[in-house]
């Protein structure tokens, strides 16, 4: 579960620390795999979803998200008003 303010709801932005473009990709933490933005200079930047148990599950959702099929079901709806999740 995400804490209030933990999910950024970013959409293709740049790192505030170094100005590099942020890349949306599958990230990993002790809690599992998630979709988040990553800065090539500074490292992990944000977590945009909840967690999946495997990289493969998260990768499928990422591919669907990037092709506009569907946003991940575990995005916080408060950050994505107007989208049917």
Nearest to 35 by CA among 22, 15, 49: 49
Q: What percent of the chain has pLDDT over 90?
A: 24
With a cut of 80, say whether residue 11 has pLDDT above it: no
- pLDDT at residue number 14: 84
List, as one string, the DSSP characters of 23-67. EEEEEEETTEEEEEEEETTTEE--B-S--BSSHHHHHHHHHHHHT
| Alpha-carbon 41 to chain mean position | 18
**Strands, sheet with 32-39, edge to edge from the N-terminal-most edge strand:** 22-29, 32-39, 43-44
Q: Which residue has the higher pLDDT, 23 or 10?
A: 23
With a cut of 60, say whether residue 8 has pLDDT above it: no
- pLDDT at residue number 59: 92
- pLDDT at residue number 12: 52
Q: What's the rounded Cα separation, in Å, for the pair 34 and 81?
A: 21
- pLDDT at residue number 49: 85
């Amino acid at each position: 579960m995400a804490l209030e303010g933990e999910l950024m709801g970013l959409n293709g932005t740049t790192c505030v620390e170094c100005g590099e473009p942020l890349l949306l990709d599958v990230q990993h933490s002790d809690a599992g795999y998630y979709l988040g933005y990553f800065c090539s200079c500074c490292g992990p930047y944000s977590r945009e979803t909840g967690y999946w148990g495997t990289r493969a599950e998260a990768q499928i959702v990422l591919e669907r998200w990037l092709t506009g099929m569907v946003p991940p079901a575990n995005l916080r709806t408060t950050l994505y008003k107007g989208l049917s999740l």
